Structure 1
Amino acid sequence: MNARSPAPGGLELVQSLVNTLDLESGADALDTPEARASLGLREDEVPDARELRESLRATLLAHAGHPPHREVTPLTDLLSRAPLRITVDAGDGSATLTPTDARSLVSRVAAAVAEALVTGTWARLKACEASDCHWAYYDRSPAGRGRWCSMQVCGARAKMRRYRGK
């Protein structure tokens, strides 16, 4: 459904994870070996990935100014399990934050969130306002007030419902 381009940097991982569930059809890409492989997941890691996905979705809804629609584990609780390491280059003093377990999805997500906080992009990753969508998208609008993953789909539907309601 999402017609927008991928989020920048590590946020593309977060966006990809949240968008593994199509709320409208109920299709969960984490049920497929291809999607699990693209996220570096084993089948036994899927329940934890689903919990992380819904916690991220709730946070992205909050970024868009909306309360989450269901109870989820707080993202803080999940990310606190992610061991990260700061590495400082002796030559130029640059620093990077990396997961200590590069295979761990929660560690990779935590590193992506930390990177996005530093670059100022975290709050622009949002979930679509449409209750049957909640697709993750990166808001590139100048004012950062985007509401839908796609103006042509979800935005048009919302405007049509509002028009017909009058």
Structure 2
Amino acid sequence: MSERPSAPGSLALVEALVNTLDVESGADALDTPEGRARFQLTEEDLPAARELRESLRAVLLAHAGHPPHRPVTPLGELLADAPLVVTVDPADGSAGLAAARAGSLTARIATAVAEALVADTWTRLKACEAGDCLWAYYDRSPAGRRRWCSMQVCGARAKMRRYRAKET
């Protein structure tokens, strides 16, 4: 996909995980040592990481008003394994959320989702409507109604398909 700014704050982790799979080509960055290292994963972690990725993708599709791409384990069930606790900094009194059992990818994703909920940015992280793409993107549009990761690629393809369908 084309270069665009990543999602803000900890949502960048969620976006990056979802985008480890290029749906169109089938290339999975988690198949490479570099891709696994980026998320601190071992080979044994891969099935759970892929399950988490596809559950996140289904939620991001729902954020954009689209049905799930395939049946997945509900994200809430996966994140239940990473309970959150409220943390308070004694120096300045600032509060935050952190996974009770930090370190795992699920715990880091649960923390990112919680932070995004607090910042009211969670529903702005979406997945592209194009069935051959499904790329995660952060919707910066004023109305929050973007449908595609890129208007220049996926949006243009969809509009061209609609135009051609009217021609016939």
Identity over aligned pairs, percent = 73
> 1:150 Cα shift?
0.6
User: What residue is the counterpart of 2:138 in the other structure?
Assistant: 138
**RMSD value, Cα:** 1.0
Which runs of 4 or more aligned residues in structure 1 lie more than 6 Å from their structure 2 counterparts after TM superposition? none
Q: TM-score, normalised by structure 1?
A: 0.96
User: What residue is the counterpart of 2:151 in the other structure?
Assistant: 151
Q: Deviations over 1:33-89 (max 9, x none)?
A: 001101111111010000000000000000000110210000000000013332112
User: What residue is the counterpart of 2:73 in the other structure?
Assistant: 73
> 1:2 Cα shift?
4.2
Distance 2:84 2:117 in 1: 15
Paired AA for residue 124 in structure 1: R
Structure 2 counterpart SS, 1:97: strand
Aligned residues: 166
Q: Structure 2 regions of 5+ residues with no counterpart?
A: none
Structure 2 counterpart SS, 1:40: coil
Q: Does 1:13 align with 2:13?
A: yes
Distance 2:36 2:69 in 1: 26
Paired AA for residue 130 in structure 1: A
User: What residue is the counterpart of 1:30 in the other structure?
Assistant: 30
Q: CA 1:95 to 1:14, structure 2 compared with 1: closer, same or farther past 3 Å?
A: same
Structure 2 counterpart SS, 1:106: helix
Q: TM-score, normalised by structure 2?
A: 0.95
Paired AA for residue 104 in structure 2: S
Q: CA 1:2 to 1:57, structure 2 compared with 1: closer, same or farther past 3 Å?
A: farther
User: 1:14-163, aligned counterparts within 5 Å?
Assistant: 14-163=14-163
Given that 1:3 and 1:149 are in contact with CA atoms closer than 8 Å, whether structure 2 keeps it comes out as no
Distance 1:30 1:150 in 2: 24
Distance 1:117 1:47 in 2: 27
Between 1:37-46 and 1:113-122, the stretch displaced more is 37-46
> 1:117 Cα shift?
0.2
Structure 2 counterpart SS, 1:14: helix
